[in-house]
Amino acid sequence: MTPPLPVPPLHLHATLVAVHGLGLLLRGESGVGKSDLALELLRRGHRLAADDVVEVVERQGWPWGSAPAKITGRLEVREVGVVDVLDLFGPDAVVAASAIDAVVDLLPAADAPPPRPIEPADPTTLAGLDLPTFLLHAADTTTLANRLEVIARLVSNRGEELTHG
C-alpha cells in the first residue's frame, strides 16, 4: 500500500506571532494593522513566525504556521517597506514555525465595539482542530499588544492541554 500524499499547506493572508510562547494568528483586511501590531510585539520581545502569508500545515493533530521561504524573517512596515526582522531585533526575534494556539480577527476601528468583557467568537477550525477565536477592533498598537498578551495568558491558563508535539 502506498503512503498517502502529503497535504499541501494552506496559505492564509495573516500574520503569526508567538506571544508568551503561544502562537496567535492575526487575521484581518489589508491595512487593518496586523504588521504594525507584530512590530509592537517584537519590540516587547515576542517572536515573529510569518507576516503577510502564513503557510499552515498539520503536525501531530495541531495546526502549525510558518512563512514561505522567500519572506521568512521579513515584515512589511507601512510607509517604510519590507524590513529584515533579524537585522532589527536579533536572532531571537524570529521563529521558523509556531503552533497556532488561537486566532485573533482584527476588525476595522469604524465597526461597533464588541461587548464587554471580550468573549471568544465562534472557534476557527484549522487542521481539524477548533481554536479559540477573539475579535479585536483596530486601535493603537500599544493597546492591541496589551490585549494580545492577555489573550495569550488566557489561552495558556485555560488548563487545556496544548500538546503541539
Is residue 67 domain-resident?
yes
Q: 39: domain range? A: 10-156
Judged against a pLDDT cut of 60, whether residue 114 lies above it is answered with no
Is residue 162 domain-resident?
no
Are the C-beta atoms of residues 106 and 27 closer than 8 Å to each other? yes
Is residue 77 domain-resident?
yes
Is residue 32 domain-resident?
yes
d(CA 122, CA 132): 7
Is residue 5 domain-resident?
no
- Residue carrying the nine cell digits 495569550: 152
Q: Residue 80 sits in a domain of what CATH number?
A: 3.40.50.300
Average pLDDT, the chain: 87
Is residue 3 domain-resident?
no
Tens digits of per-residue pLDDT, 38-81?
999 999 999 999 999 999 999 988 999 999 999 999 999 988 99
Distances from the Cα of 72 to the Cα of 3, 31, 153, angstroms: 30, 20, 26
* pLDDT for position 143: 82
**Span between the terminal Cα atoms of the chain, in Å:** 27
20: left (phi over 0), alpha (psi -120 to 50) or beta: left
Number of compact structural domains in the chain? 1
Is residue 1 domain-resident?
no
Is residue 4 domain-resident?
no
Q: What share of the chain is helix, strand, coil (3-state, %, to 5)?
A: 25, 40, 35
* pLDDT for position 154: 87
Give the residue among 79, 36, 35 at the shortest CA–CA distance from 53.
35
